[in-house]
Amino acid sequence: MPELPEVETVRRGLEPSMTGAVIARADVNRPDLRWPFPDKMADRLTGARVLQLRRRSKYILADLDTAETLLIHLGMSGRMTVSGDPLGQFVHDHPSLIKHDHVVFHMDNGARVTFNDPRRFGAMDLFETATAEAHPLLNKIGPEPLGNDFNETHLSKVLKTKNTPIKTALLDQSLIAGLGNIYVCEALFRAGIDPTQKAKDITNARISALVPIIREILLEAIEAGGSSLKDFRQAGGELGYFQHSFRVYGREGEPCATRDCASAIQRIAQSGRSTFFCPSCQS
């Protein structure tokens, strides 16, 4: 599932073609994805101007001049691609629509934005902008790790209440928004923290070091266009390439990348997910 860097990469890719433009026509080609689409979604979107595109955790939010907000979640295999962009961001013309092109936005500037989702774990919703923070998918999300509310004080406070492993705690969206398996594994490796250690037992010194490391990894991944493992593509159809910078994720049995470390990367299961780590560097 795309994590914060992938969703932010898609948001930035969509922005030149969508922000300030009108949705001249919205085509909704099936009744649902993970959940049913909102009532009359195509009609409500057609003619609306996109005021801004923003991101909250792993969701893209399009605020419209109709006082409604479109929420988009990419799910496991969803992708949003742009064609025919008049600003010259993308060089290809509109391709023929293909299977699993479930929602299509025809923008008044000539761009076309297509949401394709083979596995249909994605989702869209449409609701009053004024009530966005109270939306069931958004109202329990913690602070953004790239924002000012995410700091040593916040992380220390929430971790000290958790008797779960630090890896599990960092995946809790109510504590920190947008982090997923890939970037938690990579952050814990850089911080030298054992993923099985109880969150409440992490020292303040290590928490202080972990905060900037999380930000650093996320920013590097955004700069690299995210990580493409299976389905993820940028808005122009390109692959992300941060996966080439993984130090532990997906590297089970391979030598640790740390100089003079003789250990191999190990994988264990935690809360139903694979955790990759170096047993020597993370202790």
218: containing domain: 152-277
Asked if residue 242 belongs to a domain, the reply is yes
The pLDDT of residue 235: 56
Domain's final residue, options 99, 134, 169 = 134
Are residues 156 and 128 part of one domain? no
Domain's final residue, options 83, 103, 134 = 134
The residue whose two tokens read 């009609």 is 43
Are residues 107 and 74 part of one domain? yes
Strand partners, 50: 64
Tell me the average confidence (pLDDT) per consecutive run of 10 residues in the chain, 283 residues long: 89 93 97 96 98 97 98 91 69 73 94 92 96 96 96 96 97 96 95 98 96 95 76 56 82 95 96 95 93
**Closest by CA position to 110, among listed 95, 97, 124, 93:** 93
To 10 degrees, the CA torsion angle through 76, 77, 83, 87? 30
Q: Which residues are catalytic?
A: 2-3, 58, 273
Asked if residue 282 belongs to a domain, the reply is no
The pLDDT of residue 165: 97
Q: What are phi and psi of 258, to 5 degrees?
A: -75, 130
Structural domains in the chain (count): 2
The residue whose two tokens read 């898609």 is 10
pTM value? 0.90
The pLDDT of residue 252: 96
The pLDDT of residue 76: 85
Asked if residue 206 belongs to a domain, the reply is yes
The pLDDT of residue 52: 98
**DSSP conformation class of 128:** E
Task: Specify burial of residue 235 (Cβ count, 10 A radius: 0-12, 13-18, 19+).
Answer: buried
